[in-house]
Amino acid sequence: MRRNNVILIIFLVLVAIILYQHYKEPEPRELPQELQQEMEEEAVAKSESAVQPSYKQEDLQVLEVTRRTAITRAVEKVEPTVVSVNVIKTRYVRRRLSFFFGFYDEIPQNIKSIGSGVIFSKEGYILTNAHVVEGATKIKVILEDNRQFEAELIGTDSIYDIAVLKIEGKDLPVAKLGNSDDLIIGEWVIAVGNPYGFLIKDSKPSVSVGVISAVNRDFAQDRNGKIYRKMIQTDAAINPGNSGGPLVNIYGEVIGLNAFILSESGGNIGLGFAIPINRVKKRSRELIKYGEIRQIWLDFGVQDLNPALAEYYGLSTDEGIIVTSIDKNTPAAKAGLQKGDIIVAINEYKVTDVESAQLAVADITVGESIVLQIIRDGINKEIIIEAVEYK
């Protein structure tokens, strides 16, 4: 019996030794000499900085002034006014009901998307792109301070890709809208927005800096019917989610609304484009007051000027459009436009064909003047038509 007890005690001791060896903390390895020396130097540097500052007070003040540039001051002004625009859109997807008989039905599917916007009035009006909110069934706006609001869609200008939203809130930050007719090629600009908002769980906008690369860039009407005309080109990075965010000058003024990039890969390569803010202001006034862009009434037909017609009229070029029909008692007829007149410019915008004429007219709103440069019987004339609403 005693022998068995001794064996049991020995066994338990061995088990305890094995468990101790298994679970005891490993001996720390000795650091390489280079790392050990670096740690010692860091410790000395910390102790010295605790006793004596690295910079003199005057140096720190100079560095602080150097850090705070015109760009950082502009960002401070505009950053609180930039919002994240979260959208839910509904699309209908076909579903097969019967494999053998080929019956289908359509089921609704919610799609989430995101863009940016900028608050431009104390009443809570927000500018963004039309393509951000078109087809939306629900729009939620998130401010930089994490306040969230359900937004009302006031109206969209699908042609020029502009939309106005409205939220109800107090003490809203407001951005100052600048002048896009007074831009300098090469001046600094800042693109602000919320790129990849679903991945970055943070309501604060991102900032990228570049210059104005060009102005007055024109593009053909795209497959969705949108017209991008006299666009501002910049190399400031515009990424997915930046659409609708502001392009800002160094005074913190909004000079454009970021719209799209040109890229084969889909990523930024320094070819970003913004809608000039002067156009946005004009179109947004229509949207706020009327809920839509009112259609102007012209009522005259045109066609491209071809070489045969140019030769018949004794013209040296076949650029322009010819008036083929005009209704009586219309604004154009009352202004003096006649069948056979050749239109070569509209509001100083050169007209080469019907498409360019449509682009020129699309920028005109009710109440403005339409100035036509025409050729009649070989004589250059100017005709002014008052743009009235089509009813």
Measured in degrees and rounded to the nearest 5, phi and psi for residue 107 equal -120, 145
Q: Rounded CA gap, 251 and 81, in Å? A: 15
> Could you say which of 116, 208, 213, 243 is catalytic?
243
Q: Is 243 a catalytic residue?
A: yes
Q: Are strands 206-217 and 253-261 parallel, antiparallel or unpaired?
A: unpaired
Of residues 72, 277, 73, 71, the one with CA closest to residue 178: 277
Is 171 a known active-site residue?
no
3-state secondary structure of 362: helix
Q: Within 10 Å of residue 235's Cβ, how many Cβ atoms? A: 18
Q: Reply yes or no on whether 105 is catalytic.
A: no
Of 88, 268, 121, nearest in space to 195 by CA = 268
Its sign, for the CA torsion 273, 274, 278, 283, is positive
Q: Looking at 113, 157, 161, 180, which residue is catalytic?
A: 161
In 3D, which of 177, 198, 383 has the Cα closest to residue 278?
177
Dump the DSSP string for 71-113: HHHHHHHHGGGEEEEEEEEEEEEEEES-TTT--EEEEEEEEEE
Of the residues 84, 116, 131, 213, only one is catalytic, namely: 131
Give the integer Cα–Cα distance in Å for 158 and 132: 11
- How many residues comprise the chain? 391
Q: Name the nearest CA neighbour of 154 among 194, 203, 100, 117.
A: 117
H helices, E strands: number in the chain: 9, 22
The residues that are catalytic are 131, 161, 243
